[in-house]
Structure 1
């Protein structure tokens, strides 16, 4: 993408986040044009003096061609909002990261992802439950998303790798600064054939505490749902669960000993309405998906009614929310809902959580709606 170095440039400017990037795109049409913006133009679209100064200093200090070469030399590639491979679910969340640094490979199958998160101080119970559930998810070709932290995160990633599955690690630092350092080999294994490492932070950015809550919104944003295995009452895992709820994603929690500090977080989530999980089937049922063991192909039914034809035109392999389908087709939400139910029974569409739908075109693996 010709403009990618300008996305990289704005990513390096302190104070320029998703809202300001969107304002720049709305005003200038591209970040290449925005990179040349005058102080007056920036003020007109709401940039404060400090951010304007930061941008001016970055433009003076940073050689964008050199910065882009450094990214390539590190073995990374960049995804922006304009990239066709930018994760579809992540793009739906409020304030998605404008730029993602990626090491490894993201695949279309990664849209079928569940985040598994929890405490760094896991118990033997938490370890066993994580291994059991992640193994079950991987068996059903579900990608595991987590944060590469000690404890539950590490067990989730390691189990996925050992099972030959896919896993995505989202970092709160630059991808050249693996944290904790003892997980460098795990990170290498993930990037070399088992998934991808992702960060919205540039090279050299250290794992500061302020980086982790924003990181957690990406973990939930990449996923159909978030499973909290063990967590204290105040923990990053609960922040991730809260983001999931705000993003209209499913929240799952593993019940535990009421006297165990590690189970207070999940037990609290269950009291607040999270789905209680005692096995992988609880997650698959809630997400309304089940992999057909035989991997047999289904013939794609064709739309018949006017309503089916109208909705079919706006569906693809990328998830679309029912409200967006209603707006795009001009059909009332109630009619859209009932029509989608019929199309689902015919095997034409599939609900993938959060009232999002896709066309059932993939011949392998094949999923079916559970009755």
Structure 2
């Protein structure tokens, strides 16, 4: 039988009692009510300190900040704004419980049932290139069609593209917050966040309501993104990207790590290249992900459908597109590659852009 969420929330507010201490209580089947009653076994298991015992007295008397935060949180839950999943709840995600420091509280808004489905974390740069965002959208959509729930952090860039791909096909996606669920961050994604709920997805956070988007919250948020998921796909990441933190946490948690390579000229691809050098699975197609995660989906493997080339290209346009390759190509470089002059190239480039075959980017043009 599950313990009262109130007891878990109260225990989490005590100084000196972190996620690891509360996991010890749950693993030993010691309810948090015994900790709140200052039971010696519970105090020892949780790693309580002297200031923990002092805080217990204040909490029991309804004094101090922990008591105030507890009451605010309970009022928020009573309003029906969210659910609180505790470690001994039947629907607490089993995969998340396996990590070294699972969140003792998991606030969920939306359909908590999707947390029990096979999930893939898809993360990357907040300052994504157009190509990176397009890759994130395409992979997230295809992986969602393959039966995986896409999990990410609702950030700008790659995260937002991944969530958008799922909701565009009416599929569930999980957004893990680095704030309380009473505020959406970044604010620019409020409409996307609401659509996640409308399409059967969920918002998840370990933070109590009222928690601001402080920098320290997000690295801890990342362990939940990877902990909920069978694997992590990094689409685009700079060498110091927070996405690499998620990838490292995934490795520590025994999860699969995947990375999409990019141009060596693109700084936002260097983090993915580093992951690949360190052993991440190099991903070029959706099949490369599904093959690794096959046991979660049985023998199902979606058929590869090559992307069609733009129709209606003239022979000069097709030749130019072929010579461009897949890296950013500037006018001077194209003059050398094709033997055409700049005035001869410009009408072809404009036509290819109008036909959706290329797009202008910083430094030149990029094949789509």
Which TM-score band applies after superposition, normalised by the shorter structure? Answer: 0.7 to 0.9
The normalised TM-score by structure 1 is 0.73
Which residue is equivalent to 1:325?
none
Which residues in structure 2 correspond to 1:52-201 (within 5 Å)?
Answer: 52-59=53-60, 60-61=62-63, 62=67, 67-107=73-113, 110-201=116-207
Q: Deviations over 1:101-146 (max 9, x none)?
A: 0000122674311000000000011011111101111111210000
1:172 Cα offset (Å): 0.9
Alpha-carbon separation, structure 1, partners of 2:258 and 2:29: 42
Judge conservation of contact 1:110–1:142 (CA < 8 Å) in 2.
no
Which residue is equivalent to 1:246?
252
Judge conservation of contact 2:124–2:157 (CA < 8 Å) in 1.
yes
Judge conservation of contact 1:102–1:196 (CA < 8 Å) in 2.
yes
Alpha-carbon separation, structure 1, partners of 2:89 and 2:27: 17
Which residue is equivalent to 2:300?
291
Alpha-carbon separation, structure 2, partners of 1:44 and 1:145: 33
1:67/1:273 Cα in 2 relative to 1: closer, same or farther (>3 Å)? closer
The normalised TM-score by structure 2 is 0.74
Bigger radius of gyration among the two: 2
Unpaired segments ≥5 residues, structure 2: 303-368
1:181 Cα offset (Å): 1.1
RMSD: 2.4
1:70/1:255 Cα in 2 relative to 1: closer, same or farther (>3 Å)? same
1:190/1:58 Cα in 2 relative to 1: closer, same or farther (>3 Å)? farther
1:257/1:9 Cα in 2 relative to 1: closer, same or farther (>3 Å)? same
Alpha-carbon separation, structure 1, partners of 2:274 and 2:201: 32
Unpaired segments ≥5 residues, structure 1: 294-371
Which residue is equivalent to 1:34?
35
1:27/1:237 Cα in 2 relative to 1: closer, same or farther (>3 Å)? closer
Which residue is equivalent to 1:205?
211
Q: What number of residue pairs does the alignment pair up? A: 293
Alpha-carbon separation, structure 2, partners of 1:277 and 1:110: 25
Judge conservation of contact 1:88–1:111 (CA < 8 Å) in 2.
no
Alpha-carbon separation, structure 2, partners of 1:106 and 1:210: 26
Which residue is equivalent to 1:13?
14
Which residue is equivalent to 1:355?
none
